Structure 1
Amino acid sequence: MNSKDSTNSKDTNNQNSKIEWNLKREFQPAIPFDILISRKQELQNRLGQYGILVLYSATEKLQSNTVYYQFRQDSDLYYLTGLELPSIRLIVTYDRMILFSDQPDPENEVWLGIRPNHTELKQLCPIDQVYSIDEFNKQLSDSLHGKLRLFYGFGQNTTNDAEIFAKVDSQIRRGRAAQSAPSAIHHTHSILHQMRMIKSDYEIKQMIEIAKITAEAHRLIQSIVEPNIFEYQLEAEILSVFKNHNSVAAYPTIVASGANGCILHYTSNHHQIGENDLI
């Protein structure tokens, strides 16, 4: 390396450093704050003094090397927080909502995007406290104290299950020192899904808007479909409508022509459409 190369290397390092510090930290709640407050209050009323709910975020899945599959948050956690972040946890009792999330790593932010810090998280959802993940076990022990009913989504992640069950077992084994520990574990479905079935005015408006976007996509493909084009071409048009509305598909697009229409979850969408094929 000559002196010129050395200078270029230093310039590149300086540019990377500037990128790290110049990334804009702009966040907006994905769900209106007043809606999240209403959901929090409703959940706390349902939990009562002796109930506690624990949620884990969905897990990132590696696709190849340093590339991950598109992340999809746990639906229950998203319903309460509007956060699409991996590696977070939530504890809710009748008087507190506690979020656990590590502070963002500036180097990772350059690679993967900005992640809200603890102060910013409080501006995005109605949490009372934020702790780092390494505080979870202690806070969980404290929060379980005196609770009789634990609501937790067991059966989805064996590592999380082992952590929760071990903590409950530890509380029980402490006997009188613990005064009381959950004697029953209920799936989160039994409390949160009752709430989610009843749609607010905000949710109804969202569903109407989604239906309009979907109808627009269907009208578009009705206007362009003809023999000899391929199923994937129609899929591309459908997804383009969604993207133009800053929306994503709720499930993989099914464009099943001819005999493919007999396949319930047909998603390969590679067949050429024939004359008089039903789609």
Structure 2
Amino acid sequence: MAGIVRIDDDVIDTGYFIRTLKLGGQFEGLVEQMVRDRLTVLAARRQGLAPAPAEVQERADQFRRIQGLHRAADMNHYLDALGVSLDEFEAFVTDGLLLEKMLAQVCSERAVEQYFKLNSPKFDSVEISHIVLDSEGKAKEMMAALADDPESFGEMVSEHSVGEAREHGGAIGRVPRGALRPDLEARIFNAGAGDLLGPFPSPDRTLFEIFAVNAKHPATLDEDTALEIRRLLREEWLAARAQEHIIEACPPGR
């Protein structure tokens, strides 16, 4: 088994290195990322994407500048120390450019806009507060009291709510669609600003929750939403590419 580093007569070989990554919980994530990158590069090649020689040269020059390798001899010594050939380095640079080109196509501005157009409700959010009470009777009485005086919500939280709901006047803050329990989400997102909803029992019916919808925020294609859409596009695209290949772990020793 190939050695990686030697400390006196003690050699850290590739087997020890891989075992350490596995036992330390790092191996699976590293392999997953490598698989994702390789799927992307394979798809780019299949589509005939190819960086121009000038692009490869510019990216290689950028790599050298970052590493402080200002002469050709310095670069050669650097690669020799890593045990990497010039051809392997060029393949590494080319694959990196292919990955970028493929993902730029998958997550293009047009693709983001189209995804948002078809899925905009997914990115709605609401601002809500809650009161948590320890009996259904108290919760029903509270609903009646708040119906007469909704402005007293924060005061009622401070005086009557149990647990952490007392903090910040019961404010939960801005919540995106998908973050709430399924039995709450439809009711809350279909409510109007200023509405009171509840009481909703906990699964064991020991607590009862009342929600106030403070504000509604229909989805807008802002920077944060675009970032999330790019993530979703990338994940959906990678899942589809994974179905096109046989992906399996290699037996030890291969």
Mark yes or no: TM-score above 0.5: no
Higher-Rg member (1/2): 2
TM-score range, shorter chain: under 0.3
TM-score (norm 1): 0.18
Larger RCO: 1 or 2 (CA < 8 Å, sep 6+): 2
Determine which structure has the larger strand proportion and give its number. Answer: 2
